[in-house]
Structures are given as structure tokens and as C-alpha cells.
Amino acid sequence: AQSVAQPEDQVNVAEGNPLTVKCTYSVSGNPYLFWYVQYPNRGLQFLLKYITGDNLVKGSYGFEAEFNKSQTSFHLKKPSALVSDSALYFCAAHKNSGGYQKVTFGTGTKLQVIP
Amino acid sequence: NAGVMQNPRHLVRRRGQEARLRCSPMKGHSHVYWYRQLPEEGLKFMVYLQKENIIDESGMPKERFSAEFPKEGPSILRIQQVVRGDSAAYFCASSPTNGLAEAFFGQGTRLTVV
């Protein structure tokens, strides 16, 4: 069974500083990893994904994530945080299972960017 | 191309009533997934449907919960005889027929059982 762990319930960072939101995974076979963001009272929005290729993936709103196979991690990063980045971030693993995607989400990390 | 549409956005039900949550997938998507988000928790998979078929309902409670995705019309998640513990946000997602594209999520229905 696949699993996704987000070890931090909340991350606080000052505006303008770099941010990292951590994610580790346990997936058999090749992992397909995604990050989603959820703003208050909204649905999830896709940020970026890793399927194959370069380990550094660039996504929406200046976010990027680094796939590290040896550490089974897929941490989300941004060089300079904005107050508007404050939201709930979910890491997810997609696995093709019997011809369809089975998606396992982490429990989410609340990012608070302090002005 | 409208996104995934869920309605209602907010639903209040008294204990014992029925709740019906609707999800219209994106145009051209025939795969629908339902997730439940409890307060301060992540999203938990409930059920995966294709048109007229339930493919995987391993995350659905065995009683009171059912889902359908008819040939015509939206997907429906139905909760009978609701209890306070059913209060949560329910999200629907859809994906295209062909592979590992990111799932597109609706804005969710927030169910409150009073």
C-alpha cells in the first residue's frame, strides 16, 4: 500500500524568506507525486507534479519541488514566501492501479507566512 | 470549459435526514472521485466511479453511504440518516480517461449535521 507523510502540521515563515514544506512517500514502483494547495473554504488546486525526468520540478506561483529517490522525499520549496502563499498544502501520490489513478494524500501542512 | 462543479456549497441537515451531494465533472472527464476532509485532517478517499460503474468503493463506510454516476447527469454522493460525525467537507475530483493527468477538484460541499 502506498502512503504519504507530511511530518509538519504547520510551517511558519517570514515574508521574503525561503520556505520548505516536507513530504515523504512510500510507493511501490515508480512514484507519481503531486502537490496541491487549498485556500480557506476552497477546493484543491494543482501546483506541480513529478512523473519522470528532472528531479527539480517547477510549478505554479513560483513553487518548485525536488524529487529525491534515495530519501523518498518530494519537498515543496519557494525561494521567497509571500503572505498570499498562506494556505494548506497537500502532497499526494498517484498510482495507476487496475487502469485508474489511486490517489493517496498526506494529512496536509498549514503554511503561515508572517508579514 | 467549466471546472468541476459541486453543489450545494453548504448543506445543513438534522440528524436522521438524508444528504445528497452533487458533482458535475469537467467536460470530457469520465472518472470521478469522492474524498472526505474532516476538520484538521487530510483528504480521505471514499469512492471512484466511471459512468454507470463503481470501480473502487473501499473508502466508503459500509452503511448509509452510497454513490452513483449515471449515464446522464452528475455524480451523486448520498448519505442516509446523517449523524454528527458525518459533518465534513466532501470533495469531488475528475480526471480524463487517459492517464496520469492531475485530478481537478471541485470547491467542495461542506456538510453540517445539527
* pLDDT tens-digit readout, A11-28: 999 999 999 999 999 988
Cβ <8 Å between B35 and A105: yes
In this predicted structure, the answer to whether residue B97 has a pLDDT above a threshold of 80 is: no
Cβ <8 Å between A101 and B4: no
Model confidence over B39-80: pLDDT tens digits? 767 788 899 998 889 988 989 999 999 999 998 899 999 999
Task: Give B15's pLDDT tier (boundaries 50, 70, 90).
Answer: very high
Which parts of chain A register pLDDT below 70? 97-101
Which among A42, A100, A108 has CB closest to B107?
A42
One-letter identity of residue A25: Y
Cβ <8 Å between B95 and A101: yes
Nearby residues of A34 by Cβ (< 8 Å), 6 or more positions away: A46, A47, A48, A49, A50, A91, A92, A93, A94, A103, B102
B residues 4..33 contacting A (CB < 8 A): 4, 6, 31, 33
The answer to whether B70 and B52 have CB atoms below 8 angstroms apart is yes
Q: How many residues does the structure list for chain B?
A: 114
Q: Are strands B109-113 and B10-13 parallel, antiparallel or unpaired?
A: parallel
Chain B contact set for A60 (CB, 8 A):
none
One-letter identity of residue A54: D
CB pairs A-B closer than 8 Å: 59
The answer to whether B7 and B75 have CB atoms below 8 angstroms apart is no
Q: Which residue of B has its CA nearest to A91?
A: B42
Cell 528532472 -> residue:
A54
The alpha carbon of residue A51 is apart from the nearest alpha carbon of chain B, in Å, by 8
Task: Report the residue of A90, A103, A104, A110 to disrupt the B interface, i.e. the one with the largest count of B CBs within 10 Å.
Answer: A103
